[in-house]
């Protein structure tokens, strides 16, 4: 059976693995939310493109209605020219006709511009639709993949925790209570590897005697930071 220091090293590895897997599990909802936001953005862009085309069509119809009303008014003024009482009234009517004609010309230009924009936006609509289809397919694939990853992460975490419990149970009776107490208080921070001759947590050099004990897989504490020690590879 391996000594306490070797078991502690295994426990540190397993606990770090379980913590890393839990972090990945916790990140999944945020990652999914990011993908949902991307999909929503594409859906909003497509809807906006459709609505813009509808608004252009409405504007064109409104302007065409205004042109008809204005042309009717022009005809009314033209009839009134024949019955104008004096030059002033005649000139006033001519001025009104000119203004209305200018208004019609302006509306016709706006309609032409709106029709040109409608053609351009209609031509672009298939690209918006294609982008939306891709966004939906990407989201569906991401959702499928993340569910598979979550199942795998959960299974790996359960396995790591089972191995961790078995390893902790294999600690000597005089060591296990100390390990359990320190883990409950500090988590994985209660353990530290020794690299070369130094504690990797506080960088204090261990004594030759401590290093020798660790090589014999004995249970040791760092004299400076109090962490349980194990030899790194």
Kindly report, residue by residue over 171-217, the tens digit of the pLDDT.
999 889 988 888 888 887 888 899 988 999 999 999 999 989 888 88
Residue 163's Cβ-count burial label (10 Å; 0-12, 13-18, 19+) is middle
Plot region of 175 (φ>0 → left; ψ -120 to 50 → alpha; else → beta) = alpha
Is the pLDDT score of 1 beyond 80?
no
Is the pLDDT score of 3 beyond 90?
no
Number of domains in the chain: 2
pLDDT of residue 179: 87
Give the pLDDT mean for 3-22.
Answer: 90
Q: What is the pTM of this model?
A: 0.71
Same domain, 153 and 179: no
- DSSP three-state, residue 171: coil
Same domain, 121 and 215: no
Same domain, 127 and 177: no
Query: Which of 153, 171, 189 is the last residue in one of the domains?
Result: 171
Same domain, 128 and 110: yes
Kindly report, residue by residue over 121-156, the tens digit of the pLDDT.
999 999 999 999 999 999 999 999 999 999 999 999
Same domain, 101 and 22: yes
Kindly report, residue by residue over 22-68, the tens digit of the pLDDT.
999 999 999 999 999 999 999 999 999 999 999 999 999 999 999 99
Same domain, 167 and 203: no
- Is residue 210 a contact partner of residue 231, using CB atoms and an 8 Å limit? no
pLDDT of residue 178: 87
Range of the structural domain that residue 44 is part of: 14-171
**Structure token pair of residue 100:** 């209305």
Q: Give the bridge partners for 192, in sequence order.
A: 229
The answer to whether position 159 is within a domain reads: yes
């Amino acid at each position: 059976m391996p000594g306490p220091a070797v078991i502690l090293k295994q426990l540190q590895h397993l606990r770090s693995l379980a913590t890393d897997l839990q972090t990945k599990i916790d990140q999944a909802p945020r990652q999914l939310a990011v993908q949902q936001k991307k999909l929503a953005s594409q859906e909003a862009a497509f809807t906006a493109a459709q609505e813009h085309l509808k608004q252009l069509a409405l504007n064109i119809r409104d302007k065409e209605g205004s042109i008809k009303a204005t042309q009717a008014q022009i005809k009314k003024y033209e009839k009134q020219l024949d019955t104008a009482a004096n030059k002033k009234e005649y000139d006033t009517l001519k001025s009104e006709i000119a203004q209305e004609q200018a208004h019609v010309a302006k509306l016709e230009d706006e309609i032409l511009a709106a029709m040109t924009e409608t053609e351009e936006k209609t031509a672009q609509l298939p690209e918006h639709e294609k982008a939306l289809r891709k966004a939906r397919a990407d989201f569906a694939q991401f959702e499928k993949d993340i569910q598979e990853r979550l199942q795998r992460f959960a299974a790996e975490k359960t396995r790591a925790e089972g191995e961790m419990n078995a390893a902790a149970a294999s600690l000597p009776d005089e060591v296990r209570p100390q390990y359990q107490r320190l883990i409950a208080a500090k988590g994985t921070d209660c353990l530290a590897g020794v690299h070369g001759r130094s504690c990797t947590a506080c960088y204090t050099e261990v004594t030759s005697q401590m290093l020798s004990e660790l090589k014999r897989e004995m249970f040791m504490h760092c004299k400076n930071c109090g962490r349980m020690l194990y030899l790194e590879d």
